[in-house]
């Protein structure tokens, strides 16, 4: 049974966003085309094409610690991050639970190539819809802010893959909206989103895909 468990809401709400400025300051469509390459401009370019510099600042430490407690992670267990970026969350897992084994995949060769050195050897360039691991390889599979970037066929395949490689807890975080204001803000702010859904729609997708893990949503309030 899929459950709603929020680990990242506080981190998401800590960033201030100027939604209208995002649309009027630059050609939004051109910025999105650049961002969807998931190359340097997305990770370490200007803010209007992505993160504006995705640098380690420790913000994921509390998320990793909370997840480790919730899912009962212990040394020797294995954690996979689908859409790991530069591996910051995986690094925090190794700090929260010394002796844990980590692995990550990301579609961006730039992100993997610029990951934290401590976890870089355990990262792979791969899509979420074709994970390069055997069945039931991981005690926890997480995917934060990644699945909404997939088209529907890729999304269903990715959820099936998360189920396939997991043997314990699973947690995904997706963008969503609960009202017209949040929908407009999401449309204004997003650069790479392909799936625009309400929480109820996401639950329907999870059920149809056979996903049995937990989830949470980030909202653009």
* Per-residue pLDDT in tens (0 to 9) along the chain, 221 residues: 789 999 999 999 998 899 999 999 999 999 999 999 999 999 999 999 999 999 999 999 999 999 999 999 999 999 999 999 999 999 999 999 999 999 999 999 999 999 999 999 999 999 999 999 999 999 999 999 999 999 999 999 999 999 999 999 999 999 999 999 999 999 999 999 999 999 999 999 999 999 999 999 999 99
Query: In this structure, what token pair is assigned to residue 130?
Result: 């074709």
Distance of CA 40 to the CA centre of its chain: 18
158, with CB counted inside 10 A (0-12, 13-18, 19+), is: buried
Helix (H) or strand (E) holding 96: helix 88-96
Whole-angstrom CA distances from 194 to 187, 212, 217 are 10, 22, 15
Distance CA 183, CA 197 (A): 9
pLDDT at position 215 is: 98
CB atoms within 10 A of CB 144: 23
For the chain, which residues make up each domain, given as ranges?
9-26+56-218
How confident is the model at residue 2, as a pLDDT? 83
pLDDT at 25: 93
Q: Return the pLDDT at 203.
A: 97
**Taking the model in full, what pTM does it have?**
0.96
Instruction: Name which CATH class applies to 9-26+56-218.
Output: alpha beta
């Amino acid at each position: 049974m899929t459950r709603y468990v929020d680990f990242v809401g506080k981190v998401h709400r800590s960033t201030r966003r100027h939604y209208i400025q995002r649309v009027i300051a630059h050609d939004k469509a051109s910025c999105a085309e650049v961002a969807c390459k998931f190359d340097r401009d997305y990770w370490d370019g200007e803010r209007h094409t992505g993160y504006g510099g995705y640098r380690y600042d420790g913000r994921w430490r509390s998320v990793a610690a909370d997840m480790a407690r919730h899912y009962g992670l212990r040394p020797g267990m294995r954690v996979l991050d689908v859409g790991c970026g530069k591996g910051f969350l995986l690094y925090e897992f190794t700090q929260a639970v010394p002796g844990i084994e980590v692995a990550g995949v990301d579609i961006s060769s730039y992100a993997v190539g610029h990951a934290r050195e401590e976890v870089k050897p355990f990262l792979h360039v791969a899509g979420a819809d074709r994970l390069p691991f055997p069945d039931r390889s991981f005690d926890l599979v997480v995917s934060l802010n990644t699945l909404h970037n997939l088209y529907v066929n890729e999304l269903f395949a990715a959820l099936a893959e998360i189920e396939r490689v997991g043997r314990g807890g699973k947690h995904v975080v997706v963008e969503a909206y609960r009202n017209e204001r949040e929908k407009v803000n999401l449309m204004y702010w997003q650069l790479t989103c392909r799936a625009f859904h309400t929480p109820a729609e996401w639950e329907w997708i999870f059920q149809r895909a056979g996903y049995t893990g937990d989830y949470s949503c980030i909202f653009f309030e």
